[in-house]
Structure 1
C-alpha cells in the first residue's frame, strides 16, 4: 500500500521520507474544500495558470508528476539511445535507472571534475547529452556546489552543447541561511533544465512537481502524445496546490517543516558526534553523509547495525559506475522523531565499536 514499511525493532535511517505527522492532512483538505468543477475536468497541457503563475515563470514551466517523472520526460526528449549521460558522483541513486531506461550510456562525473570529463568525452567523438546533478543540499551528501563551480559547469555545458539537468528538490529545506542561487537562475535558462518537486516540502503522495526549461522544450513537452490526449499532468492536484500556495498555507507549512527538520538534523548530528563520529552538519536537505572509521566498510557494517536495530544506505549505491563510497553511509534525519534519532545513533555507534 505504501512505499515504506517499518521493520519491527529497526530504527531505519535509510528512507528520505517526511515525518508522517508533518504531512499537512488538514491544511490540504482545506485547500481542496472550495474547488469547483474546473478542478475535475481536463486541464491545460503545461499546467493550471494558478500554479504556473505562483511558480514565477509560466512560459518556461511544465507541471509534472514529480521530479522523477520530470527526469524521465527530459531524458525522453533530449537523449537518444547510446548517448552518454553523466551523473554527479555521489548523487541520488534512484535517478540511475530512470536515465538507463532510455538506453543511454551512464557514466559518473563528480561535479568538481565534470567540466574536464565532458571535454574528454566530446574529444573522443561521443555525444554527451545530459549532465545530471543535485547541486543544492544534495542527496546523499547534503552539500551544495560552490558558485564558481556552478558557473564553470554552465560555461562548459554551453560551449560543448550539453544540457545540465538540475534536480532542485531540496532548495526550500534550508536551515542555516538562504540556499545558493540555482544553476537555472545563474544561467538565465539554457543550457539548464531545472526539476522541482513538492514531495519534500509538502507530501510525496501528491506526485506533483515541475520542469523549468526554455519555451522550445516546454512546447515539445506540451505536444507529447499522452499530454495532448490527457490534458495536462495531475490536473486536480496541481489546481489544489495553486490554491494552497495562494492562501499562504504553503508558506506556513514550509516554515513549520523547515523548523522541525532543522531540529531533527541537530539531534542526529549531535548524537553522532557525541557517540563516535566527526560529521558535517548539512545546511539543508534531509541527509547526513557519514564517513566511517578507518577499516570499516558500509557493506560489512550493515548486517551488524541491523542486528543492533538500526539501518542505513551504504555509500556505494550513490555512484553510477565504478567503485566509490565504501567507507560512507547515508543517514536520513527526516523520517524519525528526535528520541528515535538519538537511539539510532547509539545503536550505530555500538555496531561500529563491535566490529
Structure 2
C-alpha cells in the first residue's frame, strides 16, 4: 500500500520519509472539507492548466514574503511533486545530444529522471563555479549543448549543506547556463533563515526553481510547483497531456490552497520544525563524540565522515547485523566513484529515542 517497507529489528536511517506521527491527517481533513465548501463542484472538476489560482496566488505571495519581491502567480506551474517537475523540465529542455550537468554529490534519484529524457549526464562540483564554467566551455568546445545544471543548493540531499553566498551569485552569472534549482527543503529551517534562492538572486533569469509540499505537508499529496518565466509556464501549460486533462492534481491543489490560506500550514510547519530540530539534535548529539559530523541548519540529512581507511559500502552489512541501516556515500555520485568514506543518515523518519539507539548501534558497527 505504501512505498516504505519496515524491516523488523532495523532502525533505518536510509529513508528520507516523514515521521508518520507528524503527518497532518486531521488538519488535512478539515482543509478538504473547507475547500469543498468554498469551491463546491469546482474543486472536483478539470482544473486550470497552470494550477488553480487560489493556490498559485497564495504560494506566490508566500514566496515573495519569504524572500522579498512582488508576488508573481503567472510564474508558477503546479506539478505532481518535485520529481514530476524535474521530469517535465527535462522533457522540455533536453534535445538529442544534450548534456545535463549534475552537482556531486547530489540527490541520487534525480539521475534516472534526467536520463529518461535521453540526456548525457556529467558531474560537476556546483560549489566551485569556476569549475562549472570551465566544464560548460569544454562541452561547448565539443560542439555539444548544456541543457541545464541540476543542484539542491539549500539544505542539500545528501549533505545537509547550503551553497555559499558567493558561489550562488557566481553560478547564476555563468553566461548561457540554465540552472534547475531543487528547493525542496527551504522551509525546513531550524536556525536563522534559509539563504536566498538562486531563483531570487537571478531575478528568475536563467534559473528555474522546483518546490514541493512533500516534506512540509505530506509526500502522498504528490504536489509541487515550478517557478519559471511566464513563457516557460505557457509551454508547460500547452503540453498535450495538460491540455487533455487540465491542471495537474487539481483537487489536492485546491485543498492545499485552503490549508495555506486558513493558517493551518503555518501552524503545522512550526510543529514540524520543532520536531525535526529535536530529531536532528538527538542524532547529532549521539554521534558527534565518535565521528566527524556537521550539524545542518535545515533539511533532513546528516553527511557523516567515517574514520580514515573505512568503506561505507563495506560497513553497511556490518551495520545491518547490528540493527541499523543507512545509504553509502557512493550512491550520491553519478558514477559511484566518490563518497566511499561517507554515510547519509536521515533523521526524518524516527523519533529522538530511536535515533539515539540507532546511533549507538552504528557506533558499535564502526568498532
| TM-score above 0.5, yes or no | yes
Q: Is the 8 A contact 1:184 1:192 kept in 2?
A: yes
Alpha-carbon separation, structure 1, partners of 2:96 and 2:118 = 5
Instruction: Pick one of 240, 245, 257 that aligns with 2:260.
Output: 245
2:156 equivalent in structure 1: 138
Q: How many residues align?
A: 349
Q: CA RMSD in A?
A: 0.8
1:27-56 Cα shifts (integer Å, max 9, x gaps): 000001131211000110000001000111
What CA distance in whole angstroms lies between the structure 1 residues aligned with 2:7 and 2:96?
Answer: 39
Q: Of the candidates 130, 134, 146, which is equivalent to residue 128 of structure 1?
A: 146
Q: Does 1:349 align with 2:353?
A: no
Q: Where do 1:101-120 residues align within 5 Å?
A: 101-111=116-126, 112=128, 113-120=131-138
- Cα drift, residue 125 of structure 1: 2.1
TM-score by length of 2: 0.94
Report if aligned partners of 2:152, 2:181 keep a CA contact under 8 Å in 1. Answer: yes
**Partner of residue 17, structure 1:** 17
Q: Does 1:230 align with 2:245?
A: yes
Counterpart selection for 1:220 from 204, 213, 235 = 235
TM-score, scaled to structure 1: 0.97
Question: SS where residue 284 of structure 1 aligns?
Answer: coil
Provide the rounded CA distance (Å) in 2 between the counterparts of 1:20 and 1:119.
47
**Cα distance in 2 for residues equivalent to 1:26 and 1:116:** 52
Q: Which residue of 2 aligns with 1:264?
A: 279
Residue 37 of structure 1 aligns with which residue? 41
> Using the alignment, how far apart are the partners of 1:81 and 1:20 within structure 2?
42
Structure 2 Cα separation of the partners of residues 195 and 22 of structure 1:
24
Match of 1:315 in 2: 329
Displacement after TM superposition at 1:86 (Å): 0.4
CA distance in 2, matches of 1:82, 1:42: 37
CA deviation map 1:102-148 (0-9, x unaligned)? 11100111112323222222233211111000000000000000111
Equivalent residue of 1:257, what SS? Answer: helix
Q: Which ranges of 4 or more aligned residues in structure 1 deviate by more than 3 Å?
A: none
* TM-superposed deviation, 1:82: 2.2
Q: Residue 18 of structure 2 contacts residue 218 of structure 2 at CA under 8 Å; is this kept in 1?
A: yes
Match of 1:153 among 168, 171, 174: 171
